A and B are shown apart, each in its own frame.
Chain A
Amino acid sequence: MRSKISFLSAAVLAATVSTTCAAQTVFPLTRADILAGALFDFKVEFDGVVDPAQVKVSINGADYSKTLGKAAVWVAKEDGKEASSLILRDASIRKPGTYVVTASDGKSTSSVTWTVYGTPAKKAAKNVILFIGDGFSIGHRTAMRILSKGIEGGKYTGKLAIDEMPYMALLTTQGTDSIITDSANAAHAYTTGHKSCVNALGVYCSRAANSLDHPKVETITSLAKRRGMAVGAVTNAEIEDATPAAMVAHTRRRSDYNDIVEMYYQSKIDVMMGGGSPNFLPKSTPGSKRKDDVDYIDRFKQADYRLATTKTEMLAAADDPKTTKLLGLYNTGNVDGALDLKFLKKGSVAQFPDQPDVPESMNAALKVLSRNKNGFVLMVESARIDKYSHSLDAERAVYDAIMLDDAVKQAKQWAKAHGDNTLILVTADHSHAVSVVGTVDDNKPGPDMRNKIGTYNEAGFPNYPAPDADGYPHKVDVSRRLRVLFGSYPDHYDTFAPHLEGEFVPAIRNAAGVMVANDAYKDVPGAELRIGNLPNIGPGAANNGVHTGDDVVLTAMGPGAEKVHGQMENTDLFRVMAEALALSPQKHAASAKASDK
């Protein structure tokens, strides 16, 4: 019986993960949902060098050029290799429906199916605010709720702003290459409505040698700008980092920071705020990370952007009614997280003492963007939930989750005061293996920290002080604190306590190339060595925790939010925004019906 089940499972799995062994690869990939009128690059990759006279590519039975409106470029040997490709840039399909693409080289044929969908003719929402808690998982959510709200009579004394929203869904985050995503293809799914692979932004992952040559898909920034709307990206990561970059970028490699700065410039995005200034500076300026002498600070200024390098400058720029474009760069690296910025003053706070937090940046962005009467799309990211989860620094991650909630709370207030016509979406891009396990109580007897852990009824409740108005307890190193554990980790010393000295650095690579526990924490009283459960050698060696494939929660409110329910693909979030903003208006209800799910 067991072998029979195994056999069946294997058969089902095979059917699930592999289609036919096709000779041709067609982009967009099969099962793509494409917004009618949105731009995409059409590409057919052939296995070897083929005779173009033998090639036949059709869409719904007719030559592809009839549907796509123009002919593709034939590349006999792509990148000089023994393989031919057909490439058509900036194609689009205006009419909603099902499209079957068939590509033949005269010997073998492969086909893909696309669904092209339209939107209602009239927009339901004037504005969209998309909040992304990077790596924001259920464990963070529970921990922040305990710290920010507290429990009385077994019930939370209040609701988080992110919880108090009428619509909720579970988003699945897997991509075209893997069950696990990174922040690049995860955010790309939200900003383009297409799936892609790890490290890719605004492109499908093809065999192109150059990271900028892969088949592109249009971003929501481009679509909104085409309709005269304003667009903004606010983060406390570097502005070139994957999540904000997904608003504008088209590259197979998210580390193309210098190219991404140029893509921001070309996108004409109205507001961009975060860290990461060195890629804006010409290489002749000490501290620059550019490889050329282009001064992007100057270029943005020449394009009428107001520049802010501190919170003070940002507030002044936003208050000026003439400001309609704003570039805010507040740190050379990431903007410091909430725990350092507001309480511990570690990280780079001494170096950059006047950085805004995420809600402050968001409010400045709202002021500037709302000067456009056609509405706006704003992406707001609390980025360091993820970064601190990678470094197993639970307290810093939870404080940045609280910062996300504070931003959402203020956005809800803004929306209510400005016409109640803003769709607000709050989600994560991917998850971490993070859980609230119980508490650690310093006052329990004995020398071993592990025996001070309370589980079940022994966990009781932590003794953090009451939160301030923004939701933060002012003290994190309390005597009975949350025990938050990460499920994936490298070798490290578990100190059972918050890292008041600065962000945790769990592991380092030793001289032999092996990732080992960071000895700096060896002598912290009570520290225990944890042997990691991730690779510690080779290119996959992990010096921190990794993303997981768990679903993430999406909560939503405002016009158009009713489409959020049940289990959805992460790409469906793009569709919710597109429909709310009527980004592909269809005259007849019947033709828009293809978009109904």
Chain B
Amino acid sequence: MFCPSRLSGGLPRRTFLCSSLVLAAPLASAAEATRVDNRLSFDTLYKTVGVLGTVYSEQAKALKNKEVRMRGYMAPPLKPESKGWSE
């Protein structure tokens, strides 16, 4: 999977992947997306991503149960980075 933010020194792709999955539902409709003003960037989604779990940012938590707007994309193959085998 290619993630442009990774090449430019931004978030690693694992974070990118998680972010997109978590917020996939609110992005389901372009029409809906244009209606919401709650903007969240991939850089501000998490407070920390650590070995013992991720912690969402205060900004993200404040938007719980609200529609949010995020810009970005994922490019196939959508495999976690460690799955470099034949399966």
In this assembly, does B36 line the interface, its C-beta being within 8 Å of a C-beta of chain A? Answer: no
Q: In the complex, A238 Cα to B51 Cα: how many Å? A: 12
Interface stretch, picked from B3-11, B25-33, B62-70, is B3-11
- The answer to whether A241 touches B1 (Cβ under 8 A) is no
Known: A333-B14, A508-B77. A387 touches B84 (CB 8 A): yes
Contacting residues of chain A (381-411) with chain B, CB-CB under 8 angstroms: 386-387, 390-391
In this assembly, does B83 line the interface, its C-beta being within 8 Å of a C-beta of chain A? Answer: yes
Q: Which residues on A sit within 8 Å (CB–CB) of B76?
A: 508-509
- The answer to whether B18 touches A183 (Cβ under 8 A) is no
**In-complex Cβ contact of B1 among A332, A501, A508 (8 A):** A508
Q: Which residues on A sit within 8 Å (CB–CB) of B1?
A: 505, 508
- The answer to whether B2 touches A518 (Cβ under 8 A) is yes
Q: Mark B40-54, 1 if CB is under 8 A from A, else 0.
A: 000000000111111
- The answer to whether A351 touches B87 (Cβ under 8 A) is no
- The answer to whether A334 touches B82 (Cβ under 8 A) is yes
Q: Which residues on A sit within 8 Å (CB–CB) of B52?
A: 277, 281, 285, 297, 309
Q: In the complex, A254 Cα to B86 Cα: how many Å? A: 10
Contacting residues of chain A (179-217) with chain B, CB-CB under 8 angstroms: 182-184, 198-199
Q: In the complex, A486 Cα to B49 Cα: how many Å? A: 34
Q: In the complex, A544 Cα to B6 Cα: how many Å? A: 18
In this assembly, does A115 line the interface, its C-beta being within 8 Å of a C-beta of chain B? Answer: no
Closest B-chain residue to A521, C-beta based?
B7
Q: In the complex, A158 Cα to B6 Cα: how many Å? A: 38
- The answer to whether A286 touches B82 (Cβ under 8 A) is no
Known: A237-B82, A333-B82. A286 touches B54 (CB 8 A): yes
- The answer to whether A334 touches B86 (Cβ under 8 A) is no
Q: Which residues on A sit within 8 Å (CB–CB) of B12?
A: 333, 347-348, 351
Q: In the complex, A225 Cα to B55 Cα: how many Å? A: 38
- The answer to whether B18 touches A508 (Cβ under 8 A) is no
Q: Mark A327-368, 1 if CB is under 8 A from B, else 0.
A: 001111110000000000011100110000000000000000
**In-complex Cβ contact of B87 among A253, A285, A391 (8 A):** A253
Q: In the complex, A508 Cα to B74 Cα: how many Å? A: 11
What would 22 A/B residue contacts be, using CB atoms closer than 8 Å? A183-B85, A237-B82, A254-B85, A281-B53, A285-B52, A286-B56, A287-B50, A287-B53, A287-B54, A288-B53, A309-B52, A332-B49, A333-B14, A348-B12, A348-B14, A505-B1, A505-B2, A508-B2, A508-B75, A509-B75, A520-B4, A543-B77
Q: Which B residues have a C-beta under 8 Å from some C-beta of A?
A: 1-2, 4, 6-9, 12, 14, 18, 49-56, 75-77, 80-87
Q: Which A residues have a C-beta under 8 Å from some C-beta of B?
A: 182-184, 198-199, 237-238, 241-242, 253-255, 276-277, 281, 285-288, 297, 309, 329-334, 346-348, 351-352, 386-387, 390-391, 501-502, 505, 508-509, 518, 520, 543-544
A sample of 20 more A-B contacts (CB under 8 A), given A281-B52, A387-B82, is A182-B85, A184-B85, A238-B82, A242-B85, A255-B83, A286-B53, A287-B18, A287-B49, A332-B51, A333-B14, A333-B82, A334-B82, A348-B12, A391-B84, A501-B7, A505-B1, A505-B2, A508-B75, A509-B75, A520-B4
